[in-house]
Every structure is written in structure tokens, then in C-alpha cells.
Amino acid sequence: MTDPTPVPEAGPSKGGVAARIRNYFLTGLVVAGPLAITIWLIWSIITWADDVMRPLIPPVYRPETYLPWPIPGTGLIIAFIALTTLGFLTANLVGRTLVGWGESLLSHMPIVRPIYKTMKQIFETLFSKSGSSFRKVALVEFPAPGMWSLVFLSQPPSGDIADRLPKTEHVSAFLPCTPNPTTGFFFYVPRKDLIEIDISVENAMALLISAGMVQPDSDAQKKLSSLAASAQAAQAARKPEKVE
């Protein structure tokens, strides 16, 4: 009777080691990726502000004139101080008079007038405390029956447009594209055809940019889980109207 062949001790397989290395790499990428992109964006903004403001500053007042290296962020600080000073001067009577005179001058320029007016309205809406720019998120049945898309709601249509729309309450809706939310579709939709969602614009934007991979937090996820039932109920409520 011969001795049995000795069995070697089990060690880590090549597949197991490769899987661990891959998991470690992906974990490091998840940690370092967002941090690197955030630092790159902040540095790009600081560099852009420095490049814009540096030619406007006399060399005597530039820090790099007296130091062997430039100090990043000086352009951003100077821009902040300049804008704050401009806002302070505009708040008084003399400043308002000068701004009114400048706007009156721009209003007589055919090409500049519509651009300036549009940009002013956009900035006033975005930075106004009482503005209603993209503060609500809703669902609309688009692009086909049974398919629902996220939209951002803004102000209701003006009187001239509302008078030409069907006699029901409409609201301005912006349907952004994925993954680039700066492009999309703008339309007026009846409020009764919308399902408002109690989630923040930031969570909805993250959901759109990631194409659904980044879901909202747990509370918002519970609210989103009931949207299918709400959408089906809304669709069922409109079916009798179509039959009649």
C-alpha cells in the first residue's frame, strides 16, 4: 500500500489576488477622482480670475513684482472686492443714476440692447432672493404616454403668452438633457399634467447627470418610490376624459 500523494496547502489564487487589486484600485479611484476633479475646477477658476484681473492691475500693485513667485487667488480677491464696491456704489442715489444712464445708453444700441436685457433678466432671476428659478422639480409625461421625465419649474408665463394658451393654468418647465443639463427643452405645460416631487434641485440634477446611477438620499428615495403609483393614478384619471 503506497502513501497518498501529499496535497499542497491552499493559497491565494491568482484570480483572487487580481480581484483584490482591482477592488483596491477602484476604491482608490472613487476616493481620489472626485477630489482631483474638485481641486482642478477650483484651480481653473482661480487661474482664470488671475489671468483676467492681472492686466488691469498696475505692476506696482502686483504681489509678484516684489516676490519671486506669483500668489494664486489675488485676481479672485480683487474681483470680489471690486464687485462688492460696485454694489455698494450702485446702492446709493448717485450709483443708481449712473446705472440708469448707462442702461438708457445701451437701450439705444440695436444689437447690444436685446443681449444686455436678456442677461440682466437671467442674472436678476438667478440671484434674486424672491425669485422662483428652478426651485421645484416635477414629473411630466414625456416623450410618450407612460414615460415620465424630470423637469424643473420656474415662473408662470407672462400675461401676453398666458392669454394665448388654453384657458387653464400653465407653468414654465425646463426639461434638461442627460448627461449635459445645460441643454434641453423649454415648454409651457398645464399644471394639472405635472406631478411635483418633494426633492431638491441638487438631488434631481445629480440624478440627471449620472443618468440614474446616483440616486437621492434615503428619504428622497422613499418619495421617489411612490412616483410610479402616482403617475399611474394620474394616467388612469385622465383616461375617462379621453374616452368621452
How many other β-carbons are positioned within 10 Å of the β-carbon of residue 98? 12
What's the rounded Cα separation, in Å, for the pair 152 and 186?
10
Give the pLDDT score at 243: 45
Domain boundary among 34, 64, 89: 89
pLDDT averaged over 10-residue windows placed end to end, the chain, 244 residues: 52 70 87 88 88 83 80 84 83 76 80 79 62 72 83 81 82 83 84 83 80 65 58 61 47
3-state SS, residue 196 = strand
pLDDT at residue 75 in the model? 83
The predicted structure's pLDDT at residue 168: 81
**What per-residue string of b and e applies to 134-158 under the rule 16 or more CB within 10 Å gives b?**
bebbbbbbbeeeeebbbbbbbeeee
Side chain identity at 132, as an amino acid letter? S
Inside any domain, residue 8: no
| 141 plus 221 within the same structural domain | yes
Residues 158 and 221 in one domain: yes
Q: Distance between CA atoms of 210 and 213, rounded to whole angstroms?
A: 5
* Residue 120 counted as domain residue: no
**Structure confidence at residue 193 (pLDDT):** 85
Q: Distance between CA 26 and CA 163 in Å, rounded?
A: 56
Instruction: Say yes or no: 146 and 236 in one domain.
Output: yes
Same domain membership, residue 141 and residue 85: no
Domain total in the chain: 2
In a domain, 171, yes or no: yes
Q: Assess if residue 3 is contained within a domain.
A: no
Residue 190 domain flag: yes
Whether 94 maps to a domain, the answer reads no
Residue 181 structural domain:
136-243
